[in-house]
Amino acid sequence: MEPIRYGIIGTGSTVGIARNHIFGLNQCSDIKLSAIYDIDEKQALRTYKECGLTDTVICKSWEELLEHSDAIGICLPNSLHVEYAVRALQAGKHVLIEKPVSTNAESLGELLEEEKKHPGQVAMVCFNYREFPIYQQIKKMLDAGDMGQIYRFHLQLGGNRIANKQVGLEWRMDRRTSGAGAVSDFGCHLLDIIHYLLEPCCGPIIELKALLSTSIPERRDLADGSMRKVTNDDSGVFIGKMKNGAVFSCDTSRIGMWRHSIEIAGEGGMLYGDFDQDDVLWIWKKEKEGPYQTREQIPVSGLQGHAGILQNFADCVQGKAVNYRTVAYAGRVQAMIDSMERTGSWSWEDEK
């Protein structure tokens, strides 16, 4: 069977997540990069050269990208996701949409309609951490019931690139083009991990409460040099409760986060995964009815980065796997974030 031709729109000028798609594809089977397109032609050429691409078409238009692709990876600013995902589905393409799915859940209407109209096409949202080996190992252990009742957990994820105040105003610092800030950027991944790992053993999230902050409130506009307001958060923390009573905390920041980590405590002990040390998961065992005992390391291995989700995307396109990261699902995650950003909280009752 011919590999799925994967075309990317938005090759990247700030973080450039498209590179993660490009490098991820190199580790996948049955799917290959066929074409790239960016509204900024020089940017597309730069990515082509920097990623050492040779047999990839640099397209001059969206239409040309469609001609060279069976599936489209949408690596655009958040406010453009819905428009291009709708256009891709209408053109008969499968689509992998970078997260967050959009700037807010209300904007998803047409995309949700198109997703329903094209059940034979995959529309997946890029919650790419699920396949990371630490999370895969935790999933195995939780699903097997090894940890017994879960009492509490903590997750943190963020970055520090824009802690540098000299980084100018980017689309992600503007609520109109990004939606919420760090709490959405990183919080949507964390909520996805909670749904994936913990919902099966703890029941659904029933309540969330958040505090957000913008510590660097102005940035230089790169076009005219003036100082302009940042209109979303650069750090956000939220706490929550699961149906079984387990409580949790999540920490997100764009301006200083040392570690990406997860800690889970339950009847059977504690699990700790630190992505600075991504080939190992720590377990501190406990007798279910008794005290804590030994600490051990469990070696883990597997695909990192975007390779895992791209392989799952290819498997879904070929009918070998089921797509769980649908637009409808991402919309529910988005509604939680919207509510935390707008009112400081979200409750299960709101969803009903």
Which CB atom, from 9 or from 197, has the smaller least distance to ligand NAD? 9
Question: Whole-number minimum distance, CB 201 to ligand NAD, in Å?
Answer: 25
SS in 3 state form for the chain?
CCCEEEEEECCCCCCCCHHHHHHHHCCCCCEEEEEEECCCHHHHHHHHHHCCCCCCEECCCHHHHHHCCCEEEECCCHHHHHHHHHHHHHCCCEEEECCCCCCCHHHHHHHHHHHHHCCCCCEEECCCCCCCHHHHHHHHHHHCCCCCCEEEEEEEEECCHHHCCCCCCCHHHCHHHHCCCHHHHCHHHHHHHHHHHHHHHHCCEEEEEEEEECCCCEEECCCCCCEEECCCCCEEEEEEEECCCCEEEEEEECCCCCCCEEEEEECCEEEEEEHHHCCEEEEEEECCCCCEEEEEEEECCCCCCCHHHHHHHHHHHCCCCCCCCCHHHHHHHHHHHHHHHHHCEEEHHHHC
Which CB atom, from 45 or from 141, has the smaller least distance to ligand NAD? 45
What are the φ and ψ backbone dihedral angles of 79, each rounded to 5 degrees?
A: -70, -10
Binding mask 178-207 for ligand NAD (x = CB under 6 A): -------x----------------------
Question: Whole-number minimum distance, CB 75 to ligand NAD, in Å?
Answer: 5
Taking CB under 6 A as the criterion, the residue among 5, 7, 8, 12 binding ligand NAD is 12
Which of the stretches 35-43, 110-118, 247-255, 338-346 binds ligand NAD when contact is defined by CB under 6 A? 35-43
Taking CB under 6 A as the criterion, the residue among 34, 56, 69, 78 binding ligand NAD is 78
Which CB atom, from 62 or from 348, has the smaller least distance to ligand NAD? 62
Total site size for ligand NAD, rule CB under 6 A? 24
Indicate the angle between helix axes 327-343 and 109-117, nearest 10 degrees.
170
By CB under 6 A, residue 338 contacts ligand NAD: no
By CB under 6 A, residue 13 contacts ligand NAD: yes
**Binding residues among 80-139 for ligand NAD as defined by CB under 6 A:** 80, 98-99, 126, 128
Which of the stretches 77-85, 102-110, 191-199, 334-342 binds ligand NAD when contact is defined by CB under 6 A? 77-85
By CB under 6 A, residue 17 contacts ligand NAD: yes
Which CB atom, from 37 or from 153, has the smaller least distance to ligand NAD? 37
By CB under 6 A, residue 257 contacts ligand NAD: no
Are residues 147 and 141 in contact, defined by beta-carbon separation less than 8 angstroms?
Answer: yes
Could you tell me the CA-to-CA distances from 139 to 119, 164, 300 in Å, in that order? 28, 36, 12
Taking CB under 6 A as the criterion, the residue among 3, 30, 43, 139 binding ligand NAD is 43
By CB under 6 A, residue 39 contacts ligand NAD: yes
Q: Which residues contact 291 (CB under 8 A, 6 or more apart)?
A: none
Taking CB under 6 A as the criterion, the residue among 75, 85, 283, 317 binding ligand NAD is 75
Question: Whole-number minimum distance, CB 84 to ligand NAD, in Å?
Answer: 7
Q: In terms of Cα–Cα distance, which of 109, 101, 28 is closest to 307?
A: 28
**Binding residues among 268-327 for ligand NAD as defined by CB under 6 A:** none
Which of the stretches 6-14, 208-216, 225-233, 291-299 binds ligand NAD when contact is defined by CB under 6 A? 6-14
Which CB atom, from 177 or from 345, has the smaller least distance to ligand NAD? 177
Taking CB under 6 A as the criterion, the residue among 4, 6, 10, 304 binding ligand NAD is 10
Which residues would be at the binding site for ligand NAD (CB under 6 A)? Answer: 9-17, 37-40, 43, 75-78, 80, 98-99, 126, 128, 185
